[in-house]
Amino acid sequence: SNLSMIVFFSDSSYNFEFSYKDFVPGETVTTSWRAEVRDKTKDARAIISFMDRRGNDTTIVIEYHAVSLAIRPEKYDFGMLKIGETKETTFWAINKTKDQDVIIDKFQLKFANANFEILDLAPRFLIPKNDSLKFRVRFTAKEEGEFQDSILMEDTCYNTASAFVKAAVGEPIIWVTDIAFGDLTIGTTLTKDANIRNTGSVDLTITGYSGPTESVYIPQLAGISEQNPLIIKPNAPPWVFNVSFTPTEERQYPDAIIFSSDAVREDSICVLSGRGIKAELVATSLEWPRLRINRPAFPKGPYSHPDLGIVLTNHGSQEVNVTGLKLQKGNINDPAFIFDRNALL
């Protein structure tokens, strides 16, 4: 019997384009038709019925299962790393297709110079249906900056999947202030502060220090070590420490404290400087020869001294302020000496 009707069930079909060549119902024996998937990346179904004039009919169902690929996670941020550090993370290459294996013949990074590296999988491999393969991506921090790349995967039928990766690289920058104690009298102690700043973009880790070599300097830095590092955040308030200076000799004391850290610049040295000085006052003595005593019947004196007075000399390296005179206890017959006793303290 000849064709009478062709029906495309659009309500039950999806992602298919259907067409056929016009025919004369009841007269045309055969005709041509076409069913084409609109989007090959998505599943599709077509339901079509063919009927003749005798009431016979045939219904066909055409199903298309698209290859579905994915990379998980779709995005990954390696975060902030220091120059020289490496970091790895796990990804999965996934074949979500339920009824067929896929051959991946393109598996690569979009850029070749972004410091990312794919590990574990070759550029060409097979993923079984409804299965996945694990691989790693490594980032190596070689220079300061922000980096990004894409992992690209494509099968032999040009089905694709991708994932985005990014990372940032920074460095710590150490700044240590110096301490100048100036002139200080031998035996006295002066304490001053210094500070350490991190003007970089990542944490500064200080694992120790060396110096000072002179015992006259005592820094308050106990506890900093490889096991107990000092960590200073980027642009955090300065970390303050103090150093005491107690000179024991009359001389200059050049020295330094050198900090060990993961910073390669700028200044990790606290320069110490100070000078020990003396305050040394010397008074001349006056001595008279044997002289006759003063008696009412035989008055004698007073006897002046050829030197005319006591001379004070500063033999030290520091200025001396004389604030007065004081008689030493235990003097013998001190009223025999005539001077301005109102100046005594």
Question: Residue 216's closest CA among 268, 260, 176, 252?
Answer: 252
Sequence-ordered list of residues with C-beta below 8 angstroms from that of 139, at least 6 positions apart, any chain? 78, 81, 86, 87, 88, 115, 116, 117, 147, 165, 167
Asked whether the beta carbons of 146 and 115 are under 8 A apart, the reply is: no
**Helices (H) then strands (E): counts for the chain:** 0, 26
- If one counts every other C-beta atom within 10 angstroms of the C-beta of residue 315, the result is 10
pLDDT value of position 222: 77
Q: Which parts of the chain sit beneath pLDDT 50?
A: 344-345
- Which residue has tokens 């779709």? 74
Tell me the pTM: 0.62
Asked whether the beta carbons of 243 and 217 are under 8 A apart, the reply is: yes
Which is it for the CA torsion 32, 37, 38, 43, positive or negative?
Answer: positive
Peptide bond connecting 212 to the previous residue in cis, omega within 30 degrees of 0? yes
Angle at 179 between CA 175 and CA 183, to 5 degrees: 165
CA pair distance 266, 249, nearest whole angstrom: 34
Question: Residue 257's closest CA among 204, 210, 193, 195?
Answer: 210
Q: What is the 8-class DSSP label of residue 345?
A: -
CA pair distance 77, 27, nearest whole angstrom: 68
Which amino acid would we find at residue 247? Answer: P
Tens-digit pLDDT profile for residues 138-196: 999 999 999 999 999 999 988 899 999 999 999 999 999 999 999 998 999 999 999 99
Asked whether the beta carbons of 95 and 125 are under 8 A apart, the reply is: no
- If one counts every other C-beta atom within 10 angstroms of the C-beta of residue 97, the result is 21
Asked whether the beta carbons of 56 and 40 are under 8 A apart, the reply is: no
Asked whether the beta carbons of 173 and 263 are under 8 A apart, the reply is: yes
pLDDT value of position 345: 43
pLDDT value of position 341: 64
Peptide bond connecting 128 to the previous residue in cis, omega within 30 degrees of 0? no
- Which residue has tokens 């120059």? 83
Radius of gyration of the chain (CA): 49
Question: Residue 247's closest CA among 319, 315, 182?
Answer: 182
- 3-class DSSP assignment, residue 93: strand
- 3-class DSSP assignment, residue 86: strand
